[in-house]
C-alpha cells in the first residue's frame, strides 16, 4: 500500500481539496433536511410566510454550495484517477526498460501487458472510489450523530447504535462476499480455460469423437459458475433488502422514542422528519462504501501485481568506464574468457567455461542443437544476461564495466525472433535518429537483398504492421538484417537469421554481407551446417560446452559431434518444395 501512497504524494494538495469539497457536499446533504424540519415546525406553529421564504433562500444557498462542491469533487477525483493511472503506467514501462531478459521473463509479456493496462486500471478506479465513497463515511457518520445530539441526546445515542450495527453487518457481509467472489473468479477462469481448449482443440476433439464428453465437461463448469453467481447475487439482494428494512426499522424506533420526547417537549415534530433523513443518508453512504469494499480484495491483488515489477532490482547494472576510442583498434573485438552462465533459478550451467575470440574481419560461427546454449552467447555479448563467471571483453574491456548503452552502440544484432515495429519501413531502419539517412537505408536494403521494398507503393515509407505481420517470413528476416546493417558497429551478430531465405537469396546476401562487414567481427549462430560452412572459425557447442573449434574441413575430420550433425542434416534435410 505504501507504494500507492507514494504515487499519491505529488498530488497531496489535490487529494486534500478533493476530500474538502466532498465534506462540504456531505454537510450540505445533512443541512437540507435540518432546514426543512425547521420549516415544518414553523408551519405547524403558524409562523408567517416571510420565514418560509427566508428558509427557502438559505436552503437554496446550501443546495448550490453543496451541489457545486459535489461537481467539483467529481472533477478533482477524475483528475486524480487519470494522473494516478498515467504515472503508474509510465513507472512500470520505465522500469521494464531496465530489466534484463531474465528479469522480464519472470513476468512474461502477457502478464506485463495485463499489469500495465488492466491492473493499473483497476487500481486507479479503486483508489478514486475509495476517496469518493469510503473516506466520506466517517464524516457523514460523525456529522449525522452530532446533529442528532443537537436535537436530543437520546436520538444521538440511537444513531450511534444504529451505525455500529449497520457497520458490523457490512463488515461481515463484505468478508462473506469476498469469499464468494474468489470462487466466482476461479470458476470463471475454469470456464475460460475449458472454452479455449474446446476451440483450439476442435480438430482433436472431433478426431477422437469426444464431443459429448467435452459438452459434459463444459456443462459442469457452467453449472459451477451459475451456482456461485446465484449465491453472489442473492447475497447482494439480501444486503439491499436488509438496508431497506434497517432504515425503516430505525424510523419506527425514532417515531416511538421521538414521540415520547415530543410528549415532554424536548423535541419538535419536524425533528422526526430530519432524523429519518439522517438515517437514510448515513445508511446510503455505508452501503456505497460497502460495495467499494467488496471490490477491494481484487484491487489489492492488482496493487501487488503492480508492485512486483516496480520493486524488482534489475539484475544488470551499468559500469562506469568507457572505451578508450583513442586506443589503437584491436584485432580482437570480442573475447570470451572462461565464461560460464546459469540462470538464477537453475541448478545447471547453460554455458560452461567458454573460451574463444571474435576477430575483426573474420566470421565466427556457433553451431549446436536446440538447447545447446547458442543463442545465450549472443545475449551475453549484448548483456541481456550477465555471465555467471568469467569475463567477456569488448576491445579489451570487460563489458560489465561499460554502460549498456555504450556496449550496444558497438554491437549490431539480428535476433532469432524477428520483430519489426509498426510504422514506416524507414523508421525501423533509422533507429529513432531523425531525419532518415536515405543513402544508408538504401545501402542496407540492397545488402540485405531487401530490394522488394522498392516495389511497394510507398517504397521505404511503406507501412509495417505490428511485428511485421504484413510481410512474409523471408521478407521480415531480410528487413531485420537490413536494420542491423544500417547501424555501424564493430560486431554483427546474426542469430539463426537466414533460415527463411531461399538458396539464391541466401548466396547473394552472404556475398553482400562480406563486403558490408569487412571491418567488423561477425558472429553467426545456426543449426544448419550449410549456413556456416564458410566461416573462418566454427565453434561447436553441445550441452553448453565447446566440443570443437576450427573450420569446416578441420571439424569434419576431427569433431564427432560436428560429424553427427552433418550426417543427421543430410538425412533429415527439410524438404520443402515450391
Partner 1 sequence: MSDYNDNVDIVSSDSDFEIPINARQTIKKLWRSVGDQRGRLTAVLLSVFVYVLLSMISPMYSAYIVDRLWMDVKEAAEHGAIFRISLDACGRDILFLLLIYAVTAAFYTLQSFLMAGFAEKLNLRLRTEISEKLNKLPLSYFDRTKTGDILSRLINDLDKTSEVLQTGALKFFISIGLIAGSLVMMLRLSVALTIIFLIFMALALAATKFVSAKTLRFSKLRQQRVSEATAQVEEAYTGRVVIKAFNLEDNSYKNMSQAMDALADAHLKAEFFINAINPAIRLINRFGQVFIAVLAGNMLIEGRLSAGMFQAFLQYLNQASEPFTEAAYMINSIQAALASLERIYDMLEEEEISPEPASPSVINRAFGSVEFQNVRFGYTPDNILMRNVVFAVEPGQKVAIVGSTGAGKTTLINLLMRFYELNGGKILLDGIDIKTMTRSNLRDNLGMVLQDTWLFDGTVAENIAYGKPEASKEEIIAAAKAARADFFIRAMSNGYDTVLTNDSENISIGQRQLLTIARAFLRDPALIILDEATSSVDTRTEIEIGRAMKELMKNRTSFVIAHRLSTIIDADLILLMQNGNIIEQGTHKTLLKAKGAYADLYYSQFA
Q: Which of residues 249-278 bind partner 1 (CB under 8 A)?
A: 249, 251-252, 255-256, 259-260, 262-265, 269-270, 272-273, 276
Nearer of residues 6 and 568 to partner 1, judged by Cβ: 568
Residue 240 makes contact with partner 1 by CB under 8 A: yes
Residue 10 CA, distance from chain mean position: 22
Residue 6 makes contact with partner 1 by CB under 8 A: no
How many Å is the maximal CA-CA distance in the chain?
A: 119
Residue 112 makes contact with partner 1 by CB under 8 A: yes
Residue 85 makes contact with partner 1 by CB under 8 A: yes
**Closest CB 328 distance from partner 1, rounded Å:** 26
**Closest CB 210 distance from partner 1, rounded Å:** 7
User: Among 74, 353, 551, 556, which residue interacts with partner 1 (rule: CB under 8 A)?
Assistant: 74
Residues 185-224 that bind partner 1 (CB under 8 A): 188, 191-211, 213-215, 218-219, 222-223
Nearer of residues 132 and 364 to partner 1, judged by Cβ: 132
Residue 576 makes contact with partner 1 by CB under 8 A: yes
Cα–Cα distance for residue pair 551/471, rounded to 1 Å: 35
**Closest CB 26 distance from partner 1, rounded Å:** 12
Contact at 8 Å (CB) between 315 and 102? yes
Cα–Cα distance for residue pair 428/449, rounded to 1 Å: 16
Contact at 8 Å (CB) between 541 and 373? yes
Half-sphere exposure of 473 (CA within 13 A, CB side): 9
Residue 144 makes contact with partner 1 by CB under 8 A: no
Q: How many CB atoms lie within 10 A of CB 25?
A: 21
Please name which of 333, 344, 464, 465 lies closest in space to residue 410, comparing C-alpha atoms.
333
Question: What backbone torsions phi and psi does residue 327 show, to the nearest 5 degrees?
Answer: -65, 150
Q: How many CB atoms lie within 10 A of CB 512?
A: 18
Please name which of 131, 167, 129 lies closest in space to residue 23, comparing C-alpha atoms.
131
Residue 371 makes contact with partner 1 by CB under 8 A: yes
Residue 248 makes contact with partner 1 by CB under 8 A: yes
Q: Binding string, 310-339, against partner 1, x = CB under 8 A?
A: ------------------------------
Contact at 8 Å (CB) between 449 and 505? yes
Please name which of 168, 138, 151 lies closest in space to residue 41, comparing C-alpha atoms.
151
Nearer of residues 90 and 304 to partner 1, judged by Cβ: 90
Q: Binding string, 382-401, against partner 1, x = CB under 8 A?
A: x-x-----------------
Nearer of residues 66 and 497 to partner 1, judged by Cβ: 66
Nearer of residues 39 and 365 to partner 1, judged by Cβ: 39
Q: What is the DSSP string of 218-238?
A: HHHHHHHHHHHHHHHHHHHHH
Residue 89 makes contact with partner 1 by CB under 8 A: yes
Nearer of residues 320 and 457 to partner 1, judged by Cβ: 320
**Closest CB 338 distance from partner 1, rounded Å:** 25
Residue 300 makes contact with partner 1 by CB under 8 A: no
Asked whether the bond before 435 is cis by omega within 30 degrees of 0, the reply is yes
Which of the stretches 76-84, 329-337, 341-349, 439-447 binds partner 1 when contact is defined by CB under 8 A? 76-84
Q: Which distant-in-sequence residues (6+ apart) come within 8 Å of 352 by Cβ?
A: 340, 544, 545
Cα–Cα distance for residue pair 453/238, rounded to 1 Å: 66
**Closest CB 320 distance from partner 1, rounded Å:** 18
User: Among 56, 161, 329, 459, which residue interacts with partner 1 (rule: CB under 8 A)?
Assistant: 56
Residues 421-460 that bind partner 1 (CB under 8 A): 421-422, 431-432
User: Among 6, 16, 117, 175, which residue interacts with partner 1 (rule: CB under 8 A)?
Assistant: 117
Residue 63 makes contact with partner 1 by CB under 8 A: yes
Nearer of residues 302 and 338 to partner 1, judged by Cβ: 302
Cα–Cα distance for residue pair 238/340, rounded to 1 Å: 64
Half-sphere exposure of 67 (CA within 13 A, CB side): 7
Residue 23 makes contact with partner 1 by CB under 8 A: no
Cα–Cα distance for residue pair 532/555, rounded to 1 Å: 12
Length of the chain: 578
Amino acid at each position: 500500500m505504501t507504494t500507492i501512497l507514494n504515487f499519491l504524494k505529488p498530488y497531496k494538495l489535490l487529494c486534500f481539496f478533493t476530500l474538502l469539497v466532498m465534506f462540504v457536499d456531505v454537510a450540505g446533504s445533512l443541512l437540507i433536511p435540518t432546514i426543512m424540519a425547521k420549516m415544518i415546525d414553523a408551519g405547524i406553529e403558524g409562523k408567517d410566510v416571510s420565514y418560509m421564504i427566508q428558509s427557502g433562500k438559505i436552503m437554496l444557498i446550501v443546495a448550490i454550495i453543496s451541489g457545486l462542491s459535489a461537481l467539483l469533487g467529481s472533477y478533482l477525483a477524475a483528475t486524480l484517477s487519470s494522473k494516478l493511472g498515467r504515472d503508474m503506467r509510465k513507472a512500470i514501462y520505465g522500469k521494464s526498460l531496465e530489466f534484463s531478459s531474465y528479469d522480464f521473463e519472470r513476468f512474461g509479456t502477457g502478464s506485463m501487458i495485463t499489469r500495465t493496462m488492466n491492473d493499473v486500471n483497476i487500481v486507479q478506479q479503486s483508489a478514486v472510489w475509495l476517496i469518493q465513497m469510503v473516506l466520506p463515511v466517517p464524516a457523514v457518520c460523525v456529522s449525522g450523530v452530532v446533529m442528532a445530539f443537537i436535537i436530543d441526546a437520546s436520538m444521538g445515542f440511537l444513531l450511534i447504535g444504529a451505525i455500529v450495527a449497520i457497520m458490523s453487518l457490512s463488515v461481515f457481509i463484505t468478508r462473506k462476499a469476498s469469499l464468494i467472489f474468489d470462487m466466482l473468479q476461479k470458476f470463471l477462469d475454469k470456464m475460460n480455460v475449458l472454452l479455449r481448449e474446446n476451440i483450439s482443440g476442435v480438430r482433436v476433439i472431433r478426431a477422437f469423437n469426444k464431443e459429448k464428453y467435452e459438452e459434459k465437461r463444459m456443462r459442469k463448469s457452467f453449472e459451477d459458475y451459475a451456482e456461485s453467481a446465484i449465491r453472489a447475487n442473492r447475497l447482494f439482494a439480501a444486503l439491499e433488502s436488509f438496508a431497506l428494512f434497517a432504515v425503516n426499522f430505525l424510523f419506527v424506533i425514532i417515531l416511538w422514542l421521538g414521540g415520547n420526547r415530543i410528549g415532554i417537549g424536548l423535541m419538535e415534530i419536524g425533528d422526526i422528519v430530519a432524523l429519518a433523513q439522517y438515517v437514510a443518508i448515513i445508511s446510503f453512504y455505508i452501503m456505497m462504501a460497502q460495495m467499494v469494499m467488496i471490490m477491494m480484495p481484487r484491487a489489492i491483488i492488482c496493487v501487488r501485481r503492480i508492485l512486483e515489477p516496480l520493486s524488482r532490482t534489475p539484475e544488470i547494472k551499468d559500469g562506469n568506464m568507457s572505451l578508450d576510442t583513442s586506443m589503437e583498434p584491436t584485432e580482437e573485438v570480442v573475447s570470451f574468457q572462461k565464461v560460464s552462465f546459469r540462470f538464477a533459478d537453475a541448478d545447471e550451467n547453460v554455458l560452461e567455461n567458454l573460451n574463444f575470440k571474435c576477430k575483426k574481419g573474420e566470421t565466427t560461427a556457433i553451431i549446436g542443437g536446440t538447447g545447446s546454449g547458442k543463442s545465450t552467447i549472443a545475449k551475453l555479448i549484448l548483456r541481456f544476461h550477465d555471465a555467471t563467471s568469467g569475463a567477456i571483453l569488448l576491445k579489451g574491456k570487460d563489458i560489465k564495466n561499460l554502460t549498456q548503452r555504450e556496449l550496444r552502440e558497438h554491437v549490431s544484432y539480428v535476433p532469432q525472433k524477428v520483430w519489426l515495429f509498426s510504422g514506416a519501413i524507414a523508421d525501423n531502419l533509422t533507429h529513432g535518429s531523425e531525419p532518415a539517412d536515405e543513402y544508408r537505408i538504401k545501402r542496407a536494403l540492397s545488402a540485405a537483398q531487401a530490394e522488394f521494398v522498392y516495389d511497394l507503393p510507398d517504397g521505404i515509407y511503406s507501412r509495417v504492421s505490428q511485428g511485421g505481420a504484413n510481410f512474409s517470413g523471408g521478407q521480415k528476416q531480410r528487413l531485420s538484417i537490413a536494420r542491423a546493417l544500417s547501424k555501424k558497429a564493430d560486431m554483427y551478430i546474426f542469430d539463426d537469421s537466414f533460415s527463411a531465405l531461399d538458396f539464391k537469396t541466401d548466396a547473394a546476401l552472404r556475398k553482400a554481407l562480406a563486403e558490408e562487414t569487412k571491418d567488423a567481427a561477425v558472429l553467426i549462430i545456426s543449426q544448419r551446417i550449410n549456413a556456416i560452412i564458410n566461416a573462418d572459425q566454427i565453434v561447436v557447442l553441445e550441452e553448453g560446452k565447446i566440443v570443437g573449434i576450427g573450420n569446416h574441413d578441420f571439424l569434419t575430420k576431427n569433431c564427432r559431434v560436428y560429424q553427427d550433425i552433418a550426417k543427421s542434416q543430410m538425412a533429415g534435410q527439410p524438404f520443402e518444395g515450391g
